Amino acid sequence: MLALARAMRTGPNVLILDEPIEGLSPLMAEKIGTALNQIRTSGTSILLIEQHIRFGLTQTDRTYVMSRGRIVAEGKSSDLLEDTDALKKFMSIGGA
């Protein structure tokens, strides 16, 4: 949370986050998700690199799934979140 607050003090147009919930408890991950939602709705774009597929899909408008350096799927996050077959495939690629 402190890192997010410090980053937002500069008024960025784009915020790049690399696995912001790694190692956090579910409660803290939820708080980070709430903060990211507020940041997005304030007009700041977010580039989120995340292995936790469901978290990433709920925090973004568009998703690119990569495996071994190549994009293997892309689309609207809400569509991908509803596609249970795709979710199973993504989870086997790299994380839950």
**pLDDT recorded at residue 33:** 95
20: Cβ contacts below 8 Å, ≥ 6 apart = 4, 32, 36, 48, 50
The pLDDT value recorded for residue 18 is 95
pTM: 0.78
- C-beta atoms surrounding 42 within 10 Å: 8
| Residue numbers in the chain where pLDDT is lower than 70 | 93-96
- Please give the pLDDT value at position 96: 46
What are the pLDDT digits (tens) for 25-39?
999 999 999 999 999
pLDDT of residue 68: 83
